Structure 1
Amino acid sequence: MSGNAGAGDAAHGERLQKVMAAAGVASRRVSEDMIVAGRVTVNGQVVTELGRRVDPASDRVAVDGTAVQLDTSRRYVMLNKPVGVVSSMRDEQGRPDLSRFTAGYSERLFNVGRLDAETSGLLILTNDGELAHVLAHPSFGVTKTYIARVRGTVTPQTIGRLTKGVELEDGPIAADRARLLQSRSGGDSLVELTLHSGRNRIVRRMMAEVGHPVIELVRRQFGPLHLGTLKVGAMRDLTKDELGALLTISRQ
């Protein structure tokens, strides 16, 4: 037994390149090249020696500044939530809930944040509680982008009000970004809103406050994630790049 505690700890870890390969970063050989090139950090420190051992449960590894998930038991899924489904795993009122989408997974998945029943779009399901807490908490400032079909003809002045801020019953709120996508005279309009607020039904309340009640609402983006062409009711695992971007946010 070594008298050096640090060396003893390191001896019980796994080689960094092996852990990277298991996490799907690259083959072991390519991972070695990345380490030697100084592209890999462990707990914020650049590592260039191939003998370095890490503990996948506690050490934080990044490649080119993007976080890597070493724990292969973690699952991250994107759902395009349909209208009429409540954002909980079990609804006490018997309404359609998220359990129908998670039943096929061996992991116990739960939702990151919520979308109200009448709102469709991007929802993340995961078994990573730490990541879920960070992403759902408004203080971390993760932005969400929504497309709203609203009643009436929205003017540039109204868009200006949304970004300057409106007064609601629970305090003032301003959109990070707002733009008019489509406006039909005498009909309805399409508005894109980006916010980092986690307040309940915030887009619906903001649009009602400026005189344009929401008819239909879709969340298209959550932080670095885009809904893309994912069909309503469909699910897919996050890509390595998407997961890396999310983990990088959560670790900052």
Structure 2
Amino acid sequence: MPAPVRLVQRVAELFGLSRQEAEQFIRNGWVSVDGEVMERPQHRVDAERIELDPDARLEKIEPATILLHKPPGFDAIDGPRPAAALVTPAIRWSDDPSGTRLLQRHFHRLTPLVPLDTEASGLMVLTQDGRVWRRLVEDAALIEHEYVVEVRGRIAPDGLERLGHGLAFDGRILPPCKVSWQNETRLRFAIKDVREGQLRGMCAQVGLEVVSIRRLRIGRIGLGKGADGAMPAGAWRYLPVGERF
């Protein structure tokens, strides 16, 4: 019986491909071993059935960026309950409009970006893409975020104006932002460079107690809407190739 060989070698031999082409097909999830997709070119095979998807295309291997609707109680960056643990194939949003094929390699070495309070919910970003990392880290102070903040209490007479301009938090004067009432109990903030606890602190300074916080948008990228409404808490979708924050 011949010794087992690497999958990339067997695929190249079976389908008349170069090693580079065979590896690209495997990494992009186009090759199955006994009916199961195998994305590791170094996987060793013997007499297993090797199939190449008839729709297989030689494509550039793009790093993934995942947009998660973080539920309250999970830690966005550091902490004992990492939101990153929620990102599994089973909870991908059924209305994901990206058209991206789900691959196991998309769940490896995902870096969570853009802090969000543990008790807040809403959009957070996890990426394998250095370009996305640089944009969201190096340009963080330039990117506008949109939040809906549910509050209770009686706002100070000049409270809305002060929320927009004139408050300080954690020893720094806050830059101007846009604040408006969405309804009687919800404020909408369009704001840049938000620090941990800042929205709660701002609201407290004008007599309001925060009940909940939800981030709707980071730059030009929102949670997303489908046939049944916005992407639900706990679900995730891919950032489509070509879309920018």
- Asked if these proteins are the same fold (TM beyond 0.5), I'd say yes
**Residues 147 and 71 (structure 1 numbering): CA distance in 2 closer, same or farther, change over 3 Å?**
farther
Match of 1:82 among 64, 71, 75: 71
Higher mean displacement: 141-150 or 163-172: 163-172
Structure 1 counterpart SS, 2:190: strand
What are the superposed Cα offsets for residues 187-214 of structure 1, whole Å, 9 maximum, x if unpaired?
Answer: xx21001111142222111111211121
Runs of 4+ in 1 over 6 A off after TM superposition: none
Contact (CA 8 Å) 1:156, 1:180: kept in 2 or not?
A: no
2:85 corresponds in structure 1 to 100
Q: Match of 1:194, SS?
A: strand
Letter in 2 for 1:102: V
Q: Greater helix percent: which structure?
A: 1
Which stretch shifts more, 199-208 or 225-234? 199-208
When Rg is computed on C-alpha atoms for both structures, the one with the higher figure is: 2
Matched residue SS, 1:179: strand
Per the alignment, residue 168 of structure 1 pairs with: 169
1:73 pairs, out of 46, 57, 62, with: 62
Cα offset, 1:120, TM superposition: 0.3
Answer whether contact 2:156 2:207 (CA < 8 A) is retained.
no
Give the Cα separation in 1 of the matches to 2:154 and 2:115: 29
Secondary structure of 1:244 counterpart? coil
Identity %: 24
Residue 138 of structure 1: how far off its partner (Å): 5.4
Amino acid of the structure 1 residue aligned with 2:86: F
Greater shift, 208-217 or 229-238, is seen at 208-217
Give the deviation of 1:112 after TM superposition.
Answer: 1.4
Q: Is the Cα–Cα contact under 8 Å of residues 111 and 126 in structure 2 kept in the other structure?
A: yes
Closer, same or farther in 2 for the Cα pair 1:212/1:97, shift >3 Å? Answer: same
- The one-letter code of the counterpart of 1:83 is P
1:125, distance to aligned residue in structure 2 (A):
1.0
Tell me the amino acid that sits aligned with residue 75 of structure 1.
A
Residue type of the alignment partner of 1:190? R
TM-score w.r.t. the length of structure 1 is 0.59
The equivalent residue for 2:121 is 120
3-state SS, counterpart of residue 116 of structure 1: coil
TM-score, structure 2 length as denominator? 0.61
Q: Is contact 1:122–1:220 with CA below 8 Å preserved after alignment?
A: yes
1:40 corresponding residue in structure 2: none
